[in-house]
Amino acid sequence: MTSFEQFRKAVNTVSPITDQDWALCHPGLRYLEVPKGTSFIEEGKVYKEIGFVLKGLLRAYYLIDGEEINCQFFFEGHWPKAYHSFLTQTPSRMWIEAMEDTALLLISYDHLQYLFKESNNWQRFGRIASENAFVVAQLRSEMLLLDKPETRYQNLRNIHPEILERVPLYHLASYIGVKQPSLSRIRRRLATKQRL
């Protein structure tokens, strides 16, 4: 499957797009490779393109008093974004970095606005994608506010088991809001419960 076919399949899963509307999109796409350890988005820069992960893994984080606080991971088929920066075209407060060599398909803010103006199908896609992003953000907030760290880890393990295979523990700890030693204790406690 080509990168465009992969992108098209993912978009059509959210909201079907006609061939005619795809013809409007294709010229505005750009392929980008981001080597492991390289920033895709940097704090202080305006995020002018939204990406789709074809291959690889990225993490979004904030740098607070010298500490990196992870807020999201983006695998194949995900849309890495600094949403506030992208929508308002203002500087980002977030970093997004490749944790593996990553291939992306990008579309610019201006081209996306053009698609929304020219096509009801693309407009519907944008609305549904925005709704989905809002739900993910709200679930993340609720997780951090309402769930105990052990529950956060168990939910992550059950819903996204691939994360445990590809993301180092210290990044997982930051994501669920604990330090690495606390996550190690949680994992030991859960392993002991499973053996009983």
Q: How far apart are CA 6 and CA 96, in angstroms?
A: 22
b or e along 28-55 (b: 16 or more beta carbons within 10 Å of the residue's beta carbon)? ebeeeebeeeeebbebeeebebbbbbbe
- pTM summary value: 0.90
How large a percentage of the chain has pLDDT more than 90? 85
How large a percentage of the chain has pLDDT more than 70? 99
- Determine the straight-line distance between the first and last CA of the chain, rounded to whole angstroms: 46
Answer yes or no: is pLDDT of 100 > 80. yes
Answer yes or no: is pLDDT of 128 > 90. yes
Q: How far apart are CA 43 and CA 123, in angstroms?
A: 29
Confidence class for position 90, pLDDT limits 50, 70, 90: very high
What does the pLDDT average to over 169-186?
93
What is the set of domains in the chain, with CATH numbers?
Answer: 3-119 (2.60.120.10)
Q: Where are the beta strands (DSSP E) in 136-182?
A: none
Confidence class for position 196, pLDDT limits 50, 70, 90: low
Answer yes or no: is pLDDT of 47 > 80. yes
What does the pLDDT average to over 80-105?
95
